[in-house]
């Protein structure tokens, strides 16, 4: 009799497990202590725990009346070894198999976040541990239960942020008048920052500072008077830069100050 009751109990548990929605079962597994987000860049995988994601610089975004807090996607991708200047697209995969691809301009935005909190509390089951949130998107684009990111890299682009945003490819940069600079590590070749801005049609007299930003998020500011000196270098001793310097690095007075240059942000004088 006891064996029959035990078998009946096991059968009931199996039936209940089969009737549970797949998304609910997967979400429960994702919330376990072993959860990690897998990021694949050029075939190389990196895994980030929730605590590691929370350790990145945080940003808050409002969506549908809730305040979401999370890490900018670009910060996570830089940690995974992706050169943001070469970012082409990011495919996100949820725990239930739902897939979405985000184009580069959106994925590079500082306001595109992997949220882990809403209104100061952890995301509820079925939504977290992390989800995608960004301003102006539709609900269907705000993927929940993100478990995997597949990063596609393409041609490097330099983003110039002035009154709007413009992108410049490496080939466009290499067509500009070049200069060579001797440094301890060899001879660098590139385009002076001032020449680049002039080619882009910028009124240099109105510029207060130019911030050269790395894929990793840090930047160095150069005042108007210094603009002729920084070099956007793309070659070292006649060949491409070493991988650790990225596609383009910013050289100033013989020293590499910004590796893996991704954007130049201008601040203009007050009228």
36 and 132 belong to one structural domain: yes
Q: Quick check: 2 and 17 in contact, CB under 8 A?
A: no
Asked if residue 178 belongs to a domain, the reply is yes
For residues 95-100, average pLDDT: 96
Give the chain's mean pLDDT. 88
163 and 259 belong to one structural domain: yes
Asked if residue 33 belongs to a domain, the reply is yes
Domain count, the chain: 2
Asked if residue 161 belongs to a domain, the reply is yes
Q: What is the pLDDT at residue 91? A: 97
Considering 153, 177, 209, which residue would you say is the last residue of a domain? 153
Query: Which H, E and C letters describe the chain, residue by residue?
Result: CHHHHHHHHHHHHHHHHHHCCHHHHHHHHHCCCCCEEEEEECCEEEEEEHHHHHCCCCEEEEECCEEEEEEEHHHHHHHCCCCHHHEEEEEEEECCCCEEEEEHHHHCCCCCEEEEEECCEECCCCCCCCEEECCCCCHHHCCCCEEEEEEEECCCEEEEECCCEEEEEHHHHHCCCCEEEEECCEEEEEEEHHHHHHHCCCCHHHEEEEEEEECCCCEEEEEHHHCCCCEEEEEECCEECCHHHCCCEEEECCEEEECCEEEEEEEECCC
148 and 168 belong to one structural domain: no
Checking if the pLDDT of 2 tops 50, the result is no
Checking if the pLDDT of 45 tops 70, the result is yes
Checking if the pLDDT of 32 tops 60, the result is no
Checking if the pLDDT of 185 tops 70, the result is yes
Asked if residue 24 belongs to a domain, the reply is no
Asked if residue 18 belongs to a domain, the reply is no
Q: What is the pLDDT at residue 14? A: 37
Asked if residue 76 belongs to a domain, the reply is yes
36 and 80 belong to one structural domain: yes
Q: What is the pLDDT at residue 242? A: 95
Asked if residue 126 belongs to a domain, the reply is yes
77 and 114 belong to one structural domain: yes
Q: What is the pLDDT at residue 33? A: 54
Q: Among 22-26, 67-71, 241-245, where is mean pLDDT lowest? A: 22-26
Assign residue 191 the CATH number of its domain.
Answer: 3.90.420.10
136 and 162 belong to one structural domain: no
Considering 153, 188, 223, which residue would you say is the last residue of a domain? 153
Considering 153, 183, 211, which residue would you say is the last residue of a domain? 153
More confident residue, 217 or 271: 217
Give pLDDT tens digits for 66-95. Answer: 999 999 999 999 999 899 999 999 999 999
Q: Which domain holds residue 197?
A: 157-268
Checking if the pLDDT of 17 tops 50, the result is no
Asked if residue 20 belongs to a domain, the reply is no
173 and 145 belong to one structural domain: no
66 and 49 belong to one structural domain: yes
Q: At 123, is the pLDDT very low, low, confident or very high (cuts 50, 70, 90)?
A: very high
Q: What is the pLDDT at residue 16? A: 37
Checking if the pLDDT of 207 tops 80, the result is yes
For residues 231-260, average pLDDT: 96
41 and 135 belong to one structural domain: yes
215 and 191 belong to one structural domain: yes
178 and 147 belong to one structural domain: no
Checking if the pLDDT of 22 tops 90, the result is no
186 and 169 belong to one structural domain: yes
């Amino acid at each position: 009799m006891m064996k029959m009751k035990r078998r009946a109990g096991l059968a009931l548990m199996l039936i209940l497990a089969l009737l549970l929605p797949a998304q609910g079962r997967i979400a429960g597994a994702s919330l376990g202590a072993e959860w990690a987000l897998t990021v694949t860049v050029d075939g190389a995988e990196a895994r980030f725990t929730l605590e590691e994601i929370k350790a990145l610089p945080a940003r808050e975004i409002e969506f549908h009346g809730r305040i979401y807090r999370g890490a900018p996607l670009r910060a996570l991708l830089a940690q995974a070894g992706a050169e943001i200047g070469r970012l082409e697209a990011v495919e996100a995969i949820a725990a239930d198999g739902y897939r979405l691809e985000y184009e580069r301009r959106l994925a590079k935005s500082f306001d595109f976040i992997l949220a882990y909190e809403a209104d100061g509390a952890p995301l509820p089951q079925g939504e977290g541990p992390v989800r995608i949130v960004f301003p102006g998107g539709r609900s269907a684009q705000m993927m929940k239960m993100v478990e995997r990111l597949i990063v596609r890299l393409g041609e490097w682009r330099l983003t110039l942020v002035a009154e709007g945003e413009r992108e410049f490819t490496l080939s466009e940069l290499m067509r500009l008048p070049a200069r060579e600079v001797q440094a301890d590590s060899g001879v660098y070749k590139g385009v002076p920052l001032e020449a680049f801005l002039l080619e882009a049609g910028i009124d240099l007299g109105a510029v207060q500072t130019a911030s050269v930003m790395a894929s990793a998020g840090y930047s160095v500011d150069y005042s108007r008077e210094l603009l002729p000196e920084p070099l956007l270098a793309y070659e070292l001793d006649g060949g491409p830069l070493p991988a650790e310097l990225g596609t383009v690095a910013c050289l100033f007075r013989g020293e590499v100050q910004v590796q893996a240059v991704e954007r130049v942000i201008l601040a203009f004088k007050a009228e």
